């Protein structure tokens, strides 16, 4: 069973500026009201030659503290500098995957998409308990990201 929540927001800033803010995970607590603390716990996989090394490697682990939620460990599963990253968190009975995507808009600016997917036998319960809070946090995060990137 899978449950998904998605939020999309436009920013007047270009994808490069949005990514500069989004991809600096270590600074999230400085500008995101939904993040109290973020701490990189492991560096992740070895970086292969030719890869853009701006940001964490796949398998990097972060511990995030957020209001009203228990501290959670997120493992980077996909890192595409300039356009997207995903990470995953495991709890008994549920795997949460958060996707962060930045796309250019035809008329200029960027589209920011944040997606949270709950999977596993307890996904329905986690979704039922946390969907409202999760959507609220995602809307706040998308808005804060757009505002920070637009401010340059």
Domain membership flag for residue 104: no
**Which residue spans within 16-109 are E strands per DSSP?**
37-42, 61-65, 72-80, 84-91, 94-104
Task: Tell whether the model's pLDDT for residue 46 goes beyond 70.
Answer: no
Please, what sign has the CA dihedral across residues 79, 83, 36, 67? negative
Would you state the pLDDT for residue 64?
98
Q: How many domains does the chain have?
A: 1
What pLDDT, on a 0 to 100 scale, did the predictor assign at position 17?
Answer: 97
Per-residue model confidence (pLDDT) at position 136: 98
> Is-above-0.85 flag for pTM?
yes
pLDDT per position as a tens digit, 98-113: 999 999 999 999 999 9
pLDDT band at 77 (very low <50, low <70, confident <90, very high): very high
pLDDT score, position 54: 62
Please state the rounded mean pLDDT for residues 90-101.
97
The answer to whether residue 48 sits within a structural domain is no
pLDDT at 55: 74
Kindly report the CATH number assigned to the domain that includes residue 23.
Answer: 3.30.530.20
Q: What is the mean pLDDT of residues 71-87?
A: 96
Is the predicted pLDDT of residue 26 greater than 80, yes or no? Answer: yes
Whether 131 is covered by a domain: the verdict is yes
Residue 26 CA: distances (Å) to CA of 7, 35, 48, 117, 127:
22, 11, 22, 23, 27
Both structure tokens of 4: 């998904």
Domain that holds residue 34: 2-43+56-86+110-151
CB-CB neighbours of 109 under 10 Å: 19
């Amino acid at each position: 069973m899978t449950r998904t929540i998605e939020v999309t927001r436009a920013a007047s800033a270009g994808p490069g500026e949005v990514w500069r803010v989004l991809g600096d995970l270590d600074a999230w607590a400085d500008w995101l009201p939904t993040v109290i603390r973020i701490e990189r716990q492991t560096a992740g996989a070895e970086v292969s030659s030719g890869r853009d090394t701006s940001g964490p490697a796949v398998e990097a682990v972060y511990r995030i503290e957020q209001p009203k939620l228990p501290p959670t460990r997120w493992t980077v599963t996909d890192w595409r500098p300039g356009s997207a990253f995903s990470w995953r968190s495991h709890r008994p009975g549920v795997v949460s995957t958060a996707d962060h995507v930045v796309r250019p808009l035809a008329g200029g600016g960027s589209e920011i998409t944040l997606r949270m997917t709950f999977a596993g036998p307890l996904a329905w319960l986690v979704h039922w308990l946390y969907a409202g809070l999760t959507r609220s946090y995602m809307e706040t995060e998308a808005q804060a990201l757009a505002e920070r990137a637009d401010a340059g």
